[in-house]
Structure 1
Amino acid sequence: MNQAPPAAVASTLPAPLDTLRFPLHGSHLIEASAGTGKTFTIAALYVRLVLGHGGADAYGRALTPGEILVVTFTDAATQELRDRIRSRLAVAADAFRVDPGSIGSASPGQDPWHGLRAEYPPEQWPVCARKLQLAAEAMDEAAVSTIHSWCNRMLREHAFDSDSLFTQELETDQRELLSEVVRDYWRSFMVALDADAVAEVRQWWSGPAALQVSIGGLLEHAGLLPAALRAPAEALREALADRQQRLAEIKAPWSAWVDELQTLLDTARDKKQLNGSKLKKNNYDAWLQCLARWRDDRGSVNPGLTEAATRRLTPDGMAEAWNGAAAPRHPALDAIAALAGQLAALPDARQELLCHAARWVAARFAAEQARCAQIGFNDLLTRLDAALQGANGGRLADIIRRQFPAALIDEFQDTDPL
């Protein structure tokens, strides 16, 4: 277990952690692997905070369990950590109750609290024991929780400063409410689309449930999405028109190219210039028929060429199948090599519709939550963060700092990115 070094010396090896000398003021990161005593370290730092231990490295005064915030990742871990801290406080209290005259018989290695106790004169040991015992007895009311539970507590306790409702109910499962909002969106914007637009949308989402999956990762960040978005019907209409124009431009040369390729390949076959095992007539005839149908069908986007066709009907593919002299060049061969990229780049409205749906659903979902006086787990962090950034943010931050002068965050790497 190591204490991460300051940025100025980040290139050096991390310093081994000394729990008795670890600073209890400022912000610090402890790096630890599984099984290296993370819980013991948290409990040891907790004991020091309760005692006000550390001299220049101390917080400044002794703290009570209600003033020390401990955050971990799960509810189960919360209860385990609370019990472990309670146990350490009780054991440390017992360590300060020993007879000073009996200490010489025990080595420091046999007594994990030897170093801590040695920093207090024996006449102060009863006071230290009393502080630790009272803290152990107060652990049921200690501020040990998950990050979501703590945010919920702050929003409730500081409702005025966080602009939260006193009567808000924490709803742990809001999936049905979200699904209903997405269905409302689908009814409002998708049901009345014309046939072409419906066909386009159905390529992406079979219905509201599929759309909900696609926008799931966007909802928490909906405020960062573009605001000036067109309605889906307009966005689809313009995207379809733009795509049709671009597709017509791509297809236009093929009015001549299909026949030219047919003549080129038939002539080469008659002259034995083609390797018949690598490019057979029945194969290239079928490929050219696909291209002809695609060219003549205004709405067809993909010619449906096989992988073999897209590999062989290119300059490199033709060179492999050509006997003797260099294979002839033709713009159609270059066009087929570039066709997949051109078709993938055709304009469509999918991204714009996703942004529109995410913003609309997020706003309606928030309105429904407010109407029902509900709040979900995903809202707890964002609402407290918004409150801290809002008009009363400075005052709220000061209140929370006074309420919790010290915070120990377990499993920091697993906490929410916010």
Structure 2
Amino acid sequence: MRRLDLERLLELPVREGVHLVEASAGSGKTWNLSALFLRLVLEGLPVERILVVTFTNAATEELRGRVRERLRACLRRLESGPAKNDGEEDELVARLAARHGGDPQAPLRLRAALAGMDEAAIHTIHAFCRRVLQEHAFATRVELDAEILEDEAEPLRRVARDWWRARAAELPERLFAALAAGGGGWDGPDALLAELAPYLEREIEVRVPDPRGLDALLAELEGLAREAAGLAAGEDLERLVETVAGRVVRQGPFRDEAWKERALWAAEGFLEGTAAWPRALTAAAVAAHLKKRPRAEMPDSPLLALGDRILACQEALPGAFLREALEGLRARWAAWRRERGLLTQHDLLERVREALDGEGGAALARRLAERWPVAMVDEFQDTDPVQYAVFERLAQAGQAQVLIGDPKQAIYAFRGADIHAYLAARRAVPPERRLSLPWNWRSSPAAVAAVNAIFGAHDNPFALAERIEFEP
């Protein structure tokens, strides 16, 4: 991957095709974005025709401020010559001012750009999509009276509580015991919403170990509980626990002396419908921890064999519960928004994507590409499949793009970001248009050396099938 140094930055054919810039932490992404913006202005592209998409509102304001500084610095250089203190201006400004010094239009373009910065298309992805919907309401088929739901938290809580009252409140205590035993503490609507909120409006495939629904699994577990009660009537649970204790090593579910008390309590609670069957009283667990001596034979207990079936059913319950809850919450959340004519931030993305994919989408993409012939997208590693689809359609319509991101910093999966969307975009960019910003200007040399040593010691440090290269 070629390095984006100053010479290449000055000559990059930024108005042609799609370029991908991989920029590590502290490598000067904002510096380079503002530099490309200045270049485009000097080359005759008005600020209102340059699209810049960043990740947060704070980032948009920071970038807007940096661009203003660059425009002012270049204008000063053109009108007043070099600064007395060379440290007050960067080499890029000096080079661009020298390149355009003989062009009488250059100062006029810079002044016009400074005057129009408040209207510059520097947006978050959601603000950009909102603008597209507002300016192309008929093409996107958005409701003219649709309102944007700015704060989703409280409406989502109400929807979650409504679903919980309608469905979860009627579910047996045995289910919630199994959920707790499986590590899912979804004992109320707020806890459930915290788990599922990032996925309510995302296109994800819910995979569960058992394809049967929640009701079918609960019915099976009730049948197993009745069978266990029948066996327990003829087999002393306390004696079974003592027998197991004499034949297993102190590992896994048998790691401490208190396991016997816990197992007995759980088994009795399971028979009463208030607890989950303990892993310690399953044939699989006992067989895995038998002492290595001749007399440590497997206890002859039908309850242990039945415990394997009970445990398998219990372990399938969390996935089935979450799948049903996700489907139920999605339906209620969509209905709640539809009844009130409200759009969420994610709806903005979906509506634009649907418009670009639907009838008339190619014409809309061309209009947007003509409006903004160049787009620069920051933090592209945090994109999701919907966002990528939007920019892909615009690129196909002729929009030149610079995608800037760092796959090593892809940490927003909980918000729907998908590193595989970034990797798909990287595959679509020809190798000669992939560049990197490998120099860290923020951290101390010792910190950089330590990171290089740690990550450089591994052949595939990010453990993905499609490798993310680490460049020291």
TM norm. shorter chain > 0.5: yes
Cα distance in 1 for partners of 2:269, 2:322 equals: 31
**Residue number among 12, 21, 29 corresponding to 2:11 in the alignment:** 21
Cα distance in 2 for partners of 1:210, 1:153 equals: 35
Give deviations 1:94-114, integer Å, cap 9, x for gaps: 333357xx99xx99x975434
**Residue number among 176, 192, 206 corresponding to 2:187 in the alignment:** 206
Cα distance in 2 for partners of 1:256, 1:118 equals: 96
Whether the aligned pair in 2 keeps the contact of 1:257 and 1:332 (CA below 8 Å) is: no
Within the alignment, does 1:38 sit opposite 2:20 as a pair?
no
Q: CA deviation at 1:257?
A: 7.8
Cα distance in 2 for partners of 1:78, 1:407 equals: 14
Name the counterpart of 2:201: 220
Distance 1:68 1:274, change over 3 A: closer
Name the counterpart of 2:68: 86
Q: CA deviation at 1:407?
A: 0.9
Where 1:97 maps in the other structure, the secondary structure is: helix
Where 1:28 maps in the other structure, the secondary structure is: strand
Q: CA deviation at 1:408?
A: 1.4
Paired residue total: 357
Amino acid paired to 1:401: A
Q: CA deviation at 1:157?
A: 1.3
Within the alignment, does 1:411 sit opposite 2:379 as a pair?
yes
Where 1:165 maps in the other structure, the secondary structure is: coil
Cα distance in 2 for partners of 1:119, 1:360 equals: 61
Whether the aligned pair in 2 keeps the contact of 1:315 and 1:334 (CA below 8 Å) is: no
% identical equivalent positions: 31
Name the counterpart of 1:128: 106
**Residue number among 135, 147, 152 corresponding to 2:125 in the alignment:** 147
Distance 1:292 1:208, change over 3 A: closer
Cα distance in 2 for partners of 1:360, 1:311 equals: 35
Where 1:19 maps in the other structure, the secondary structure is: helix
Whether the aligned pair in 2 keeps the contact of 1:68 and 1:143 (CA below 8 Å) is: yes
Distance 1:340 1:118, change over 3 A: farther
Which residues of structure 1 form unaligned runs of 5+? 6-12, 53-61, 276-282
Amino acid paired to 1:22: L
Alignment of 1:318-357 (within 5 A): 318-319=291-292, 326-327=294-295, 329-330=297-298, 332=300, 342-346=309-313, 349-357=317-325
Within the alignment, does 1:116 sit opposite 2:83 as a pair?
no
Whether the aligned pair in 2 keeps the contact of 1:311 and 1:317 (CA below 8 Å) is: no
Within the alignment, does 1:50 sit opposite 2:41 as a pair?
yes
Cα distance in 1 for partners of 2:270, 2:146 equals: 61
Whether the aligned pair in 2 keeps the contact of 1:50 and 1:135 (CA below 8 Å) is: yes
Within the alignment, does 1:389 sit opposite 2:363 as a pair?
no
Which residues of structure 2 form unaligned runs of 5+? 180-185, 250-256, 388-472
Whether the aligned pair in 2 keeps the contact of 1:50 and 1:63 (CA below 8 Å) is: yes
Q: CA deviation at 1:346?
A: 1.1
Distance 1:91 1:247, change over 3 A: same
Distance 1:160 1:72, change over 3 A: same
Distance 1:126 1:274, change over 3 A: closer
Alignment of 1:3-402 (within 5 A): 5=1, 14=3, 16=5, 18-24=8-14, 25-52=16-43, 62-97=44-79, 112-120=92-100, 124-191=102-169, 193=170, 197-203=171-177, 204=179, 205-221=186-202, 235-246=213-224, 290=264, 297=271, 302=276, 304=278, 314=287, 317-319=290-292, 326-327=294-295, 329-330=297-298, 332=300, 342-346=309-313, 349-402=317-370
Name the counterpart of 1:58: none
